[in-house]
Structure 1
Amino acid sequence: MRVACLFILVSFLTAFNDRAAEGARILGSKSHYIVGSALMKALAKRGHEVTVISPFPMKKPLPNYRDITTDIWDATEPITSNMLSFAEKGIFESIKETYRYGHTVTNETLKQPAVVKLLTSNEKFDLIVMEAFMNDAMLGFAHHFNAPCIGMSTFGASKWTTDLVGTPAPPSYVPNPFLAFTDHMSFKERLINTVMGVTEALVVRFIDQPVQSEIYQKAFPDPKPPLSELKKTAVSAVLLNNHFSTSYPRPYVTGMIEVGGMHINRNPKSLPADIQSFMDNATDGVIYFSMGSNIKSKDLPPAKRDAFLNVFSKLKQKVLWKWEDENLPSKPDNVRIQSWWPQDDILAHPNMRVFITHGGLLSTTEALYHGVPVIGIPVFGDQYLNMAKAERGGYGLSVPYLEISEEHLFTAINAMLGDIKYKQNAQVISQRYRDQPQAPLDLAVFWVEYVIRHNGAKHIRTASMDLSFVQYHNLDVLAILLGVPLLVFHLSARFLCRKKSIKPSRNDDRKKRN
C-alpha cells in the first residue's frame, strides 16, 4: 500500500505522499527523533513515501525517505540552554516553562519557510501523524489537508493525549505525570493529584488554549473551524510510547494504543570497535551515565561534577559518560567521555551493570527492555514519576538533583552493585515487557495503515468526545437522582410543618363548644 501521510512531532514534522515525496517532520529533541524516525523508516520500507523536515537529516539516504533540514535552535536556546535549572524550580514554575517551550516550538515550526511552502503547495495526504505535546495548533494540518490524524506520544499518556480521544484518567489511581506518585496513593496524595489535575485543566483552558488558538489562526488559511472544535474531531487514534508492564495498568479507549519501545533494536547492532573493546574488557562491569538529549552533564556545577568524579575514581567498574565537551578535568582512567553514545546497543551489552539516568521515559524503557537497573536523577516533567515507578518496582534508586553529593552517590551506586535484587527485578520486568504477541513497531505500523484503510476509522471514536463536562460526569443525572428525593423530602416536611401549625388546639375546641 503506497499512501501519503504527514507526521508532526512538537518540533517534528513528517510526511508520506503517494503523488510525490513531500512533507515534513520537525524535531527539537534528538530522543524524540529516535522514536519518530523508527516509525517513519518502517513506513518507508513498506513503500510509503516519507519526507522529513528535521534538524537531524539522515546520514545515509533511505528509499522513499526524504529530509528537509530546519533550524529552530535560536528560538529554543533561551529555554533549553541549561535544563538542570528546572530542578531548582517549583512544580508550577516547571509547568509554566514547559508550556512556554511548547508554544515556542509550535510557533517556530509553523513559521519555518519549508513548512509555509508545504502549506501553500498542492500536496495531498492520506493521513496526518502528530505528537501531542503542547502543540494543538498543529492539528490545523489535519483540516488543511483534509486528512485523518493519528497522535503520537513519546511522553506516554498525559492530558495532551487523553483529551484527543476521550481516554479517562481517574485521579484516584492514575498519577499526574508531573507528580512522583504511584497508582496506590494515600488520601493526601489523591487530594494533591486531584488538585493538580484541576490546575492543569485550568492552565490548558486559560493559558495554553488561547496561545495555541492564536498560533493556529495565524498559521493556517481560512476557512477553518475553531481549534477547540477541531481538537474534538481531528484525531482518530493515539500511539503511546508506553507499555503496562513498565508502567501502571490504566483504562484506555480503543483508539489509544501502547507501542512503547518501538524504537528499540530487537537485534542489537554492533558497537563501534573501540566501544566494544572497552566494554568487553570490563571484567567488573560497566556503568553508563547519561542525562538524556536535553540535559547536558557539562552544565553540572563543579561541586556536583566533582562528586561524580570522586565516586567513579573509587570504583572497579568502567564508566561511559555522556559528556558534551572535549575535556573533563580530573577524569579518572576508568571513565570514558563522549558527547553521544549508541545508548540502546550499549545497554544491550552483557557487561552492563548500572544505568545512571535522568529518568526520562525513553531511557527507562530501554533500560527495562535490556534488564538494566537504574539510578535516577530526575530534573523535570515525568522523570519524577518514572523514578517513583523504578523505586516501587525494586529496579531503581533516586538521587534528587539538589541532594547530589559524593556520599549520597557512593551509597546509591554501591547499594545497586552490591545487591543482586535490583538486577533481578529489572530482568523480571524485561521478561514481561518482551512477552508481547506483536512487536511494538509492527503494531504502530498496523494502526497507521488501519486508519488509512478505513478512512479515518471513525468507528473507533468514543462518544465521550461529543459530551460536555456535565454530561460526561453524569452531573445532570446525579442532580436528578439526588435532587428529586431531596425536593420531595423538603416539600413533604414543609407540608407537615404547615399542617401542624394550622391544627386547632384543644383550647380552641373548648371555646368553640362553649
Structure 2
Amino acid sequence: MNLLHLCLILLAYLCHVWGYSYLMISHSAAKSHFYVGQALAKGLVAAGHEVTVISTFPQNNPLKNYVDVSTPNTFAAMAVHKNNILDIAKIPVFFRLPALHGMGLSLTQSLLEEHSVQSLLSQNRTFDAVICEVFMNEAHFGFAEHFNAPLITFSTLGASPWTTDLVGSPSPPSYVPHFLLQFGDHMNFFERAHNLLFILYQGAYEQYVYLPKQEQLYKKYFPNNKQNFYDMRKNTALVLLNNHVSLGFPRPYAPNMIEVGGMHINRKCQQLPLDIEDFINGAQHGVIYFSLGSYIKSSSLPLEMREALVETLRNLKQRVLWKFEEPNLPGKPDNVFISDWFPQDDILAHEKVILFITHGGLLSTTESIYHGKPVLGIPFFGDQFMNMARAQQSGYGLTLRFTELTAETFKNSINKLLSDPSYTQKVHDMSVRFRDQHETPLERAVYWVEHVTRQKGARYLRSASQDLNFIQYYNLDVLIMIVGGLGFVIFTFIYLLMALIKVITKKIGGKPKKAKRN
C-alpha cells in the first residue's frame, strides 16, 4: 500500500467523521415556513456538512455545500388553496380540518411529481440522514428508507398530533389544547369537553380518511420501500419543534422531541434599507409594524375591511409600516409606508417599533417575544388561533377575530395595547426568559441532528409506546379484565350471600307446625 493510497483512505475517513451529507425536504410554499428549514440547513453547512434541500425557494446566491433541488410547481398547487383561506377562516373549526388536510395532500403530491425530485430519486445517492418538514406530508417520510437513512423531522408549528404521534409524546387533552383551537392550558369544563371531542374527531378523520390517502401516495412514489406506511411513521428518530417552553405552555415530550424555537431568528441585526430606516427614525411617537404573513395578502382583504384599516391607521399619531402587496394603496395616509416585503426580524429589533399587528403565525409571535414587542393578532389559519390565545393568556397581546374586524374594533384594540404599559412589560419579561438559554436554538438543533446521525438513528431514544396499539396504550384490556373480574367477584359474593341468608332463614324459622284438631 503506497503513500497516496494511505492519504486517500485518511481523507475519506476524515470526511466521514467531520462531514455528513443530509437531504432536507421543505415542502411548504410559504416562505415563512421555509425560513425555519433554511436556518437549520445553513447551520449544518456552517458545521461542515453538505445539505441537499428540496424546496420552492432556491438560493439567490449559491452557497458552498448547500445544494438546491427546486420545486416550482408547488406554488401553483398552493395558489389554489390560498385563494380560499379567507373563506375557510369564517367557517367553524370542525369544518376547517378537511380543507386543511386537502391542501396537505395536494402539496405532498405536487412535490413528489416534480421532475427534479424524480431525478433525485433515480440517482444512486446516499445520505447520512433525511430531514423532513412535518406539515401534512407523511408520504414524504418515504425518502428516508429510499436512501437508507434515519428520519429526522422538524415542525414550524411546534407540537401537534402530526408530530407527537411520530415519537409517542403524550398529549393529555385535559391541559394540552389542540393547536387549531383557541384555548390555553387552563380550560374550563366546556373547553375541555370541546378539546377532547375535537381531538377524537381529528384522530378518527386522520385514521380513516386522511392517512389512507397519504399511504396511497407513499406506495405510488416509493414502491420499493419495505416498511409499512404506519410503521414507517413510528420509526422517526428525532423531532425538532419550533417552540420553547417560555413561549407557550409546559407539556410532556418524548426524549427525542427537542424544542428549538427561534432558530431562524437573526441574532445579529442587519442594517435596514435607507428609506425604511429614515421613515422609522422620523417617527416622534413610535412605529407600528403591520404584516399578515406570507399566506394572506393585505391587498386581498375585502374592500370594506381595507377601508376600515386605512381609516384607522390614518388617525394614529404613530407611523405604520404595512406589508401591502400592491404598488398603490388607494387613499394611503401620509403616516403609512407600504411595501410587498420588509426585513421583519430587523424591523422588530428597532427600538422605535412599539407594536406588531400580525396574523399570529408562530414564527412572527416568536420574533415579537424575542424582540420584546406586544402584538395585536388577527388569526386566519391553522395554529394562529392558538398562538394568539397564548399571547392573550400570557398578557402580551390581544386577539381580534377576522369576522369582527371593523374600524372601531381595530382602533380600540390598538389604543388598548398602546395605552396599557403592562403588555409591553409582559413581553419584555418573556423576552428575558426566552433569551436565557445556555445555547442558541440553532446550536441545539445542529447538535441533535449530528447526535442522531452519529448514533445511526439513536434507537435508544425510541419510546416503547410506539409498539403498543390504542387498547394496550391506555390499558383498556387490563381495565376490562379488572372491571370484569371485580364484577364476577361481586356477583359471586352477592349470590353466595343470598344463598346463605336463605339457608339461615330456613333454619331459624323451621317448618310451620300443623294445628291439632279437637
Q: Do Structure 1 and Structure 2 share a fold, with TM-score over 0.5?
A: yes
Q: Is the 8 A contact 1:136 1:212 kept in 2?
A: yes
Among 134, 147, 155, the alignment partner of 2:136 is: 134
Among 73, 77, 102, the alignment partner of 1:75 is: 77
The CA deviation string for residues 150-202 of structure 1, in whole angstroms up to 9 with x for no partner, is: 11000110000000000000000001111111100111111111111111100
Mapping 1:442-461, distance limit 5 Å: 442-461=443-462
Q: Which amino acid aligns with 1:74?
A: A
Task: Measure, in 1, the Cα distance between the counterparts of 2:449 and 2:270.
Answer: 26
Report sequence identity in percent. 47
1:310 is aligned to 2:311: yes
Mapping 1:275-354, distance limit 5 Å: 275-354=276-355
User: What is the DSSP-based 3-state SS (H/G/I as helix, E as strand, rest coil) of the residue aligned with 1:321?
Assistant: strand
Q: In structure 1, what is the equivalent of residue 407 of structure 2?
A: 406
The Cα shift of 1:306 comes to 0.7
Greater Cα shift, 136-145 or 451-460: 136-145
The Cα shift of 1:137 comes to 0.8
User: What is the DSSP-based 3-state SS (H/G/I as helix, E as strand, rest coil) of the residue aligned with 1:125?
Assistant: coil
Among 179, 191, 197, the alignment partner of 1:177 is: 179
The Cα shift of 1:468 comes to 1.4
Task: Measure, in 1, the Cα distance between the counterparts of 2:285 and 2:512.
Answer: 108
Q: Is the 8 A contact 1:82 1:296 kept in 2?
A: no
The Cα shift of 1:460 comes to 0.8
Larger Rg over CA atoms: 2
Q: Is the 8 A contact 2:248 2:390 kept in 1?
A: yes
Greater Cα shift, 218-227 or 306-315: 218-227
The CA deviation string for residues 334-368 of structure 1, in whole angstroms up to 9 with x for no partner, is: 11111111111110000011100011111101001
The Cα shift of 1:510 comes to 4.6
Task: Measure, in 1, the Cα distance between the counterparts of 2:478 and 2:241.
Answer: 33
Q: In structure 2, what is the equivalent of residue 435 of structure 1?
A: 436
Number of equivalent positions: 497
Q: In structure 2, what is the equivalent of residue 18 of structure 1?
A: none
The Cα shift of 1:404 comes to 0.7
User: What is the DSSP-based 3-state SS (H/G/I as helix, E as strand, rest coil) of the residue aligned with 1:246?
Assistant: coil
Q: In structure 2, what is the equivalent of residue 115 of structure 1?
A: 117
Question: What is the TM-score normalised by the length of structure 2?
Answer: 0.93
Q: Is the 8 A contact 1:82 1:295 kept in 2?
A: no
Greater Cα shift, 126-135 or 244-253: 126-135
Question: Structure 2 unaligned runs (5+)?
Answer: 1-17
Q: In structure 2, what is the equivalent of residue 186 of structure 1?
A: 188
The Cα shift of 1:45 comes to 1.6
Q: In structure 2, what is the equivalent of residue 92 of structure 1?
A: 94
Mapping 1:488-503, distance limit 5 Å: 488-501=489-502
The CA deviation string for residues 101-154 of structure 1, in whole angstroms up to 9 with x for no partner, is: 100000111111111111111000110111222111111111111110111000
Task: Measure, in 2, the Cα distance between the counterparts of 1:57 and 1:129.
Answer: 17
Task: Measure, in 2, the Cα distance between the counterparts of 1:338 and 1:419.
Answer: 29
Q: In structure 1, what is the equivalent of residue 64 of structure 2?
A: 63
Q: Which amino acid aligns with 2:166?
A: L
The Cα shift of 1:506 comes to 6.4
Q: RMSD between aligned alpha carbons?
A: 1.7
Q: Which amino acid aligns with 2:382?
A: G
The CA deviation string for residues 239-295 of structure 1, in whole angstroms up to 9 with x for no partner, is: 000001010000111100000010001111111111111112212111011111101
Q: In structure 2, what is the equivalent of residue 14 of structure 1?
A: none
Q: Which amino acid aligns with 2:340?
A: S
Greater Cα shift, 398-407 or 480-489: 480-489
Question: Structure 1 unaligned runs (5+)?
Answer: 12-26
Q: Which amino acid aligns with 2:167?
A: V
Q: In structure 1, what is the equivalent of residue 25 of structure 2?
A: 8
User: What is the DSSP-based 3-state SS (H/G/I as helix, E as strand, rest coil) of the residue aligned with 2:246?
Assistant: helix
Q: Is the 8 A contact 2:25 2:53 kept in 1?
A: no
Q: Which amino acid aligns with 2:87?
A: S
Q: Is the 8 A contact 2:145 2:225 kept in 1?
A: no
Q: In structure 1, what is the equivalent of residue 263 of structure 2?
A: 262
Mapping 1:31-42, distance limit 5 Å: 31-42=32-43
The Cα shift of 1:497 comes to 2.4
1:472 is aligned to 2:473: yes
Task: Measure, in 2, the Cα distance between the counterparts of 1:342 and 1:507.
Answer: 98
The Cα shift of 1:4 comes to 1.5
Q: Is the 8 A contact 2:130 2:151 kept in 1?
A: yes
Q: Is the 8 A contact 1:361 1:386 kept in 2?
A: yes
Task: Measure, in 2, the Cα distance between the counterparts of 1:313 and 1:244.
Answer: 38
The Cα shift of 1:95 comes to 1.2
Task: Measure, in 2, the Cα distance between the counterparts of 1:365 and 1:223.
Answer: 38
Mapping 1:196-275, distance limit 5 Å: 196-233=198-235, 235-275=236-276
Q: Is the 8 A contact 1:287 1:319 kept in 2?
A: yes
The CA deviation string for residues 8-42 of structure 1, in whole angstroms up to 9 with x for no partner, is: 23x1xxxxxxxxxxxxxxx4110011111011011
User: What is the DSSP-based 3-state SS (H/G/I as helix, E as strand, rest coil) of the residue aligned with 1:6?
Assistant: strand
Q: In structure 2, what is the equivalent of residue 165 of structure 1?
A: 167
The Cα shift of 1:223 comes to 4.5
The Cα shift of 1:495 comes to 2.2
